[in-house]
Amino acid sequence: MRDDEKKHGGARIGAGRKKGSGKFGEPTKVIRVPESKVEPIQNWLERQKRSKQNWAGLLENSGFAVHQPANDSYVSLPLFSHKVVAGFPSPADDYIETTLDLNEKLVRNKEATFLLVVEGDSMQKAGIQDGDILVVDRSIEPTDGKIVIAALDGELTVKRLSVKSTGTWLVPENDNYPPIPVREEADMVIWGVVTATISQF
Amino acid sequence: MRDDEKKHGGARIGAGRKKGSGKFGEPTKVIRVPESKVEPIQNWLERQKRSKQNWAGLLENSGFAVHQPANDSYVSLPLFSHKVVAGFPSPADDYIETTLDLNEKLVRNKEATFLLVVEGDSMQKAGIQDGDILVVDRSIEPTDGKIVIAALDGELTVKRLSVKSTGTWLVPENDNYPPIPVREEADMVIWGVVTATISQF
DNA sequence: CCTTTTGAATACCGTTACAATATTCATATA
DNA sequence: TATATGAATATTGTAACGGTATTCAAAAGG
């Protein structure tokens, strides 16, 4: 076969890169901006891309997602990410990452969830303050490291559960209080695992 | 005088436009950005130049994309008071003090409320941790002592607002950070007042 | 007939180039 | 002395360019 006959391809329809296959997934434009703002803007663009993916993924996995609540209440509030907003604080534009219903976000298992008003400051370091509302899920397995509601001899406490080979402890997150040893599982009734805490100002 | 002798000016040193006399006051660069982001970016640049916005102005043209809920039904969760529950509890029995809908509890003015994810630990003492979700109400007057979301020269921060005769300050609740003086209202745009913070574990 | 290779076709992207303005200021003019 | 002029230089939005990346179907090879 002669060289000039060695041909592949050739003119054809349908060839060529697809539209929207670029890094931004949409048409682009060149604009002129001050030098000092180039990096912030590009960082922001990067975050915009990533955060969209993240939230989508997060919502997917966590089951909070946008799908179900037909008969339940659904109050959609715009949710911003601080990071994303930090550089470009304009509520008017499309910086809204997603919308979120607080009940949905905070309550995974409605039947097993209850709220509790905190008294005392023994969990201050974990961000739990006196007067906070705790969201407690009784369907979650209380494992080592989880913050739990435990009734010790009828005394209700919020502590971090520590299950080690040396024994089980209820550990306050406040240096002024000592860890409490749990001698037997018998003295302790765990009500549930704290999934969130809400402080109102 | 002949026409070709009618001359003004002429070659001379020092002539010409001064550097930095453009709209941005600094060298510029051309960058390519997605079309949908052109306007947001240019709005932001505009605002950076004359960061002259006050609370009222922000409210005016903010145009939040707040999604309206279809209707307000409630998710009632049992709310316990720590004291009351101290006995022995099951959310099913009558230790339940009341029931509470989180959206109702946390969102007073739905149209003016949005959520924000916190970054940083400058408000640790107020129980606001990195990663928390803040509930921000834009309809509440930012007064002395309120925790506010403030954009200082485009930088978004969560701080306690201090309005004294000596001036206005944004005060972090973390000893590692100094209070930030607000020289003029012009530097500062207050997005809203924080009404609650939610930590999830 | 099925799989792999190939290269034309097309989109994308960072940068430069360019033409139209805008600004400045020493000089010519009144 | 005050004003008008126009060369000199900066700025700015957009077009253009060259280099890459991607896609697809025809050609080549099993």
Domain-wise residue ranges, chain A = 35-106, 110-198
pLDDT over 80 at B129, yes or no: no
* Nearest protein residue by Cα to C1' of nucleotide D25: A9
The pLDDT-based confidence of A32 (bands split at 50, 70, 90) is very high
pLDDT at B176: 75
* Residue B9 token pair: 């000016």
Distance A18 CA to D29 C1' (A): 29
Percent of chain B with pLDDT over 70: 49
pLDDT over 60 at B103, yes or no: yes
**Measuring CA to CA, how many Å separate B181 from each of B52, B159, B163, B189?**
17, 12, 10, 14
Residues A107, A136: contact at Cβ < 8 Å?
Answer: no
pLDDT over 50 at A37, yes or no: yes
State the pairing for strand pair B77-81/A113-117.
parallel
pLDDT over 80 at A112, yes or no: no
pLDDT at A30: 92
Phi, psi dihedrals of residue A175, rounded to the nearest 5°: -60, -20
Percent of chain A with pLDDT over 90: 2
pLDDT at B133: 78
| Higher per-residue confidence, B71 vs A191 | A191
Mean pLDDT of B83-110: 45
Mark yes or no for CB contact A191/B147 under 8 Å: no
Q: Which CATH number fits domain A110-198: 3.50.50.60, 1.10.630.10, 3.40.640.10, 2.10.109.10?
A: 2.10.109.10
Strand C proximity list, CB < 7 Å = A 6-13, 15-24, 27-28, 30; B 1, 5-10, 12-18, 21, 30-32
The pLDDT-based confidence of B111 (bands split at 50, 70, 90) is low
Mark yes or no for CB contact A82/B156 under 8 Å: yes
Mean pLDDT of A44-71: 39
Fold (topology level) of B53-69+105-198: Umud Fragment, subunit A (2.10.109)
| Higher per-residue confidence, A83 vs B17 | B17
pLDDT at B16: 74
pLDDT at A66: 24
A159 is catalytic: yes
Which of residues 30-49 of A have CB within 7 Å of strand D?
30-32
B40-44, B158-162, B166-170: lowest mean pLDDT where?
Answer: B40-44
Mean pLDDT of B109-115: 67
Write out which nucleotides of chain D lie closer than 7 A to a protein Cβ: 4-16, 21-28
When mean pLDDT is compared over A5-19, A153-167, B139-153, the highest value belongs to: B139-153
pLDDT at A27: 87
- The chain A residue lying nearest B73, using CA atoms, is A73
A122 is catalytic: yes
The pLDDT-based confidence of A84 (bands split at 50, 70, 90) is very low
Cβ-based neighbours of B139, under 8 Å, separated by 6 or more: B109, B111, B112
Residue B152 contacts A where some CB pair is shorter than 8 Å:
no
Residue A58 contacts B where some CB pair is shorter than 8 Å:
no
Which nucleotide C1' is nearest B31 CA? C14
What gap in Å lies between CA A77 and CA A67, rounded to an integer?
Answer: 16
* Residue A75 token pair: 């109050």
Mark yes or no for CB contact B110/A29 under 8 Å: no
Nearest to B103 by CA among B140, B132, B135: B135
| Higher per-residue confidence, B63 vs B135 | B135
Which of B27, B77, B151 is opposite residue A107, by nearest beta carbon?
Answer: B77
Phi, psi dihedrals of residue B156, rounded to the nearest 5°: -90, 130
pLDDT at A10: 53
Residue B148 to chain A, least CA–CA distance (Å): 11
| Higher per-residue confidence, A48 vs B80 | A48
Establish whether the CB of A2 is closer than 7 Å to any nucleic acid atom in strand D.
no
The pLDDT-based confidence of B198 (bands split at 50, 70, 90) is confident
Residue B74 contacts A where some CB pair is shorter than 8 Å:
yes
Cβ-based contacts of B132 with chain A (< 8 Å): 127
Rg of chain B on CA atoms, in Å:
26
Cβ-based contacts of B114 with chain A (< 8 Å): 77-80, 91, 96
Mark yes or no for CB contact A78/B65 under 8 Å: yes
Mean predicted lDDT score pLDDT of chain B: 63
* Residue B72 token pair: 């307000």
The pLDDT-based confidence of A85 (bands split at 50, 70, 90) is very low
